[in-house]
Amino acid sequence: MKTIAFTNQKGGVGKTTSTINVGAGLCLQGKKVLMVDLDPQANLTYSLRMNSQRIDNTIYDVLKGRISPDEAIISHNGFDILPSSIDLSGAEMEFVNEPARETLLKNNLEKLGTGYDYILIDCPPNLGLLTLNAFTAVKEIFIVLQSEYLALHGLSKLMDVIRVVKERLNPDIAISGIICTLFDSRKNLNREVVDHIKDYFGDKVFKTIIRDNVALAEAPSHHKTIFEYDSESYGAKDYLALSKEIRNGH
Ligand SMILES: Nc1ncnc2c1ncn2[C@@H]1O[C@H](COP(=O)(O)OP(=O)(O)OP(=O)(O)O)[C@@H](O)[C@H]1O
Ligand SMILES: [Mg+2]
């Protein structure tokens, strides 16, 4: 079983889009996938689920210890989702006095056993307690970077946090993949940024670069993965190629 957190404290870089469509791509290859929405914005949840479809139990109830994770899991066309909700936005404050506050997610995911091939966690855009919980619960971290100016800005802070988690909470953790997203081949700057990211991270950077593709931005409003929404789009081609690279352990 592979456990992977998709992270970057910078907002809007494609973490949620990548979690959903890498997960869906792995599912198309016959893998059993769980996506965990660990963001109080609940973008992953609502990108796949209509607002009108009631969600009774969420990751918040799980972390609170009210229910077990399997009671919150919902399914979507072949893969599973552990949904989030706005309730989670108070988590930092609520859990502050819990002695094991960084291991709440890890302890709960362990209750699920090893039935999944992949557990993918969509992190919120900050380095707070929820992100620490993700880093404590996984073996691998994928950093998602937008192929734009300042892509690497602020990254040293993220690396510091990962180093501290590795020392104190989770010795197994490693940055195992860098995903470059929102690539626009018409912009020379985008190429330069990707070259710069490759200089910095070497062969951790996935060969598949995710292009800027409008279908990827449209699919969530139809509550669909890119493969369900437009399987011929560049977005579908790129995320299928990326998920193959991930499956083959690049
Ligand atoms: N390759 C792409 N091409 C076009 N639009 C994209 C692409 N990837 C993501 N988007 C769009 O860009 C926006 C930000 O993407 P996304 O929500 O995945 O980022 P995020 O890092 O999860 O954001 P947040 O930090 O707020 O959680 C969304 O509207 C999404 O639909
Ligand atoms: Mg997101």
Query: 22: CA distance to ligand 2 center in Å?
Result: 14
Tens-digit pLDDT profile for residues 53-81? 778 899 999 999 999 999 999 999 999 99
- Strand pairing class (174-181; 140-146): parallel
Domain ranges in the chain are: 2-247
* Number of the ligand closest to the Cα of 7: 1
Which sign, positive or negative, has the C-alpha torsion 123, 124, 130, 135?
positive
CA distance 242 to 236: 10
One CATH from 1.20.1530.20, 1.10.150.20, 3.40.50.300, 3.20.20.70 for 2-247: 3.40.50.300
Q: What angle do CA 36, 225, 109 make, to 5 degrees?
A: 15
Query: 127 and 155 in contact (C-beta within 8 Å)?
Result: no
CA of 249 to the centre of ligand 2 (A): 24
Quote the distance between the C-alpha of residue 123 and its chain's center.
6
Residues 117-156 pLDDT 10s: 999 999 999 999 999 999 999 999 999 999 988 888 889 9
**Given ligand 1 and candidates 16, 86, 224, 240, which is best to mutate, with the most ligand atoms within 8 Å of its CB?**
16
pLDDT tens digits for range 72-120:
999 999 999 999 999 999 988 899 888 899 999 999 999 998 899 999 9
